[in-house]
Amino acid sequence: MNPAHIVTVRDFSPATLAAIAAQLEASTEFEHLVYRESELDAVWSITGFFLAENSVAQDAVARLHETVHRAHDLVGEGRPREAAALLRTLL
């Protein structure tokens, strides 16, 4: 696991979330946390667009969207392992 590597975020699939969670668990330095924050920002953006474009109720995606937001804030607070644990509840 190389926390200096930025996960490619193209979707909000379990594989993407698992990859970010694994990186979170290995992240300790300022730079690593910045990369994790950018990954979570990307997931939050994608889920936000998905929710805006899909009028049918998407409770699961809405829950994911909100959870990623909380994980993002945990990273900002310097708590990556808690953020990882939160992401893993979605898997």
Partner 1 sequence: MLSREENELLTRTGLGTPAGAYFRRYWLPALQASELPTPDCPPVRVRILGEDLIAFRDTEGRVGLVDEFCPHRRASLFWGRNEECGLRCVYHGWKFDVTGACVEMPNEPPEYRFNNKIRTVAYPTREYGGIVWAYLGPPESVPELPKIEWARVPENHRYISKRRQESNYLQAVEGGIDSSHTNFLHASLEAFRVTDAYLEAVKNSNNLRAKYHILDKSPRFTVKKMDYGLAISVRRNAEEDTYYWRLTQFLLPAYTMIPQQKGLAINGHCWVPRDDETCWVWNMTWNPDSPLSEDDWKSIREETFIHARVDPATLRPLRNKDNNYLIDRDQQRTKNMTGIHGFAAQDQALQESMGPVVDRTRERLGTSDTAIIAMRRLMLQEIRALQEGEEPFAARHGDVYWVRSAAVLLKRDVPFDESSRDLVGAEV
**Nearest Cα residue to 90 out of 70, 71, 52, 64:** 64
User: How many angstroms separate the CA atoms of 17 and 90, rounded?
Assistant: 8
Which range in 19-27, 36-44, 53-61, 79-87 contacts partner 1 by CB under 8 A? 36-44
48 is a site residue for partner 1 (CB under 8 A): yes
Does position 31 bind partner 1 by CB under 8 A? Answer: yes
Tokens for 82, please give them. 């808690």
Is 65:47 a contact under the CB 8 Å cutoff?
A: yes
Contact flag: residue 4 with partner 1 (CB under 8 A): yes
Chain residues that interact with partner 1, rule: CB under 8 A: 4, 6, 8-9, 29-31, 33-35, 37-39, 41-42, 44-45, 48-49, 69, 72-73, 76
